[in-house]
Amino acid sequence: MKVGVVGLGSMGFGMAASLLRAGHEVCGADVNPDAVARLRGLGSAEWGPVQALVVVVLNAAQVEAVLFGPQGVAGQLAAGSVVICCVTVAPDFARAMAARCQALGLHYLDAPISGGSVKAADGRLSIMASGTAEAFAAAAPVLAATAEKVFDLGDSAGAGSAMKAVNQMLAGVHIAAMAEAMTFGMTQGVSPARFMEVIPDCAGTSWMLENRGPHVVDGDYAPRSAVDIWPKDLGIVLEAARAARFAAPITAAALQQFLAASGQGLGREDDAAVAKVYARNAGLTLPGDPA
């Protein structure tokens, strides 16, 4: 199958590499020519006609530009091709993109991804997918090459993005709550290391706590996933919540902490760096801080 991947960041590059490994003919596009060249080194082709287009850019504005901008590719795709949109976007936006693609005779799979860059490189992502049976069928080889788990969330675009929004809401809150509890513990004599020895065995644990907590203990803020993801993703959540007249006070509080982290210049650090906001506010010294 000929597959185009637009957006060769850590997630898109891993997906493209997984597609190559699975034997597909792959071409990649990115604003960064180095990323394209690196994929060529793995055996990708020059950009050309494709049967499936995987979109793995940063946000909704980039999705719209990729598909329908001045150099948009939607108009170049043959009828019956499938657009697989892996970007975290608002459910309403996913529905709008699907409608515009369908008007061109294209299938559209609303397919946000989760799992991080390591799983992307290994072809073991989780994909929260929704779309018509035809969209699922056309996307099947791509899903098989890139995902360990595909949640079929129904036959219309938007449902995948809705579940992704729900998951991001929890994930963001849990990262900030980990940071809040770990630093609160420090004020009570509980060291970050001791926190991570005990809490994962207790009712207070979460997937994110166990994943991100060690970054704080190690003072290691190399970005596996960056702080600046969260103002974007929790922004999508709270925008959808506002439109639905849904009050989400805990998510709103978590967003403010990520905004403060970003405002302190930590936007490109690992998202566990939200702990630094709490530490600075309380005069605490985290592992790795200058003494």
Interface segment toward a copy of itself; rule CB under 8 A; list 27-35, 55-63, 64-72, 277-285: 277-285
Long-range contacts of 19-25 (CB under 8 A, 24+ apart): 19/54, 19/142, 19/145, 19/146, 20/44, 21/123, 21/145, 22/123, 22/141, 22/144, 22/145, 24/141, 24/142, 24/145, 25/1
Q: Which is nearer to a copy of itself, 30 or 271 (CB)?
A: 271
Q: At 113, phi and psi to the nearest 5? A: -110, 155
Interface segment toward a copy of itself; rule CB under 8 A; list 38-46, 61-69, 74-82, 166-174: 166-174
Mask for 185-204, x = binds a copy of itself (CB under 8 A): x-xxxx---xx--xx-xxxx
Catalytic annotation on 276? no
**Binding positions for a copy of itself, 74-133, rule CB under 8 A:** 91, 114-115, 126, 128
CB under 8 Å to 200, separation ≥6 — which residues?
209, 210, 213
Taking a C-beta distance cutoff of 8 angstroms, is the pair 73, 66 a contact? Answer: yes
282 contributes a contact to a copy of itself by CB under 8 A: yes
The token pair that represents 55 in the structure block:
């979109």
Give min distance, CB of 216 to a copy of itself, in A: 14
Taking a C-beta distance cutoff of 8 angstroms, is the pair 277, 260 a contact? Answer: yes
Q: Which is nearer to a copy of itself, 103 or 244 (CB)?
A: 244
Q: At 117, phi and psi to the nearest 5? A: -70, -30
184 contributes a contact to a copy of itself by CB under 8 A: yes
CB under 8 Å to 45, separation ≥6 — which residues?
25, 26, 27
Q: Which of 2, 149, 164, 232 is catalytic?
A: 164
Instruction: Find tokens 């950009």 and name the residue.
Output: 47
10 contributes a contact to a copy of itself by CB under 8 A: no
CA proximity to 80, closest of 45, 44, 132: 132
Mask for 227-256, x = binds a copy of itself (CB under 8 A): ----------x--xx--xxxxxxxxxxx-x
Give min distance, CB of 149 to a copy of itself, in A: 7
Give min distance, CB of 223 to a copy of itself, in A: 16
Q: Which is nearer to a copy of itself, 52 or 237 (CB)?
A: 237
257 contributes a contact to a copy of itself by CB under 8 A: yes
Q: Which is nearer to a copy of itself, 44 or 225 (CB)?
A: 225
SS3 251: helix
221 contributes a contact to a copy of itself by CB under 8 A: no
Mask for 33-72, x = binds a copy of itself (CB under 8 A): ----------------------------------------
List the Cα angle 32/36/37 in 5-degree steps.
110
Dihedral, 40, 43, 49, 54 alpha carbons, nearest 10 = -80
Residues taking part in catalysis: 164
- Give the binding site for a copy of itself (CB under 8 A): 91, 114-115, 126, 128, 149, 151, 153, 158-159, 162-163, 165-171, 173-174, 176-178, 180-185, 187-190, 194-195, 198-199, 201-209, 211, 237, 240-241, 244-254, 256-257, 278, 281-283
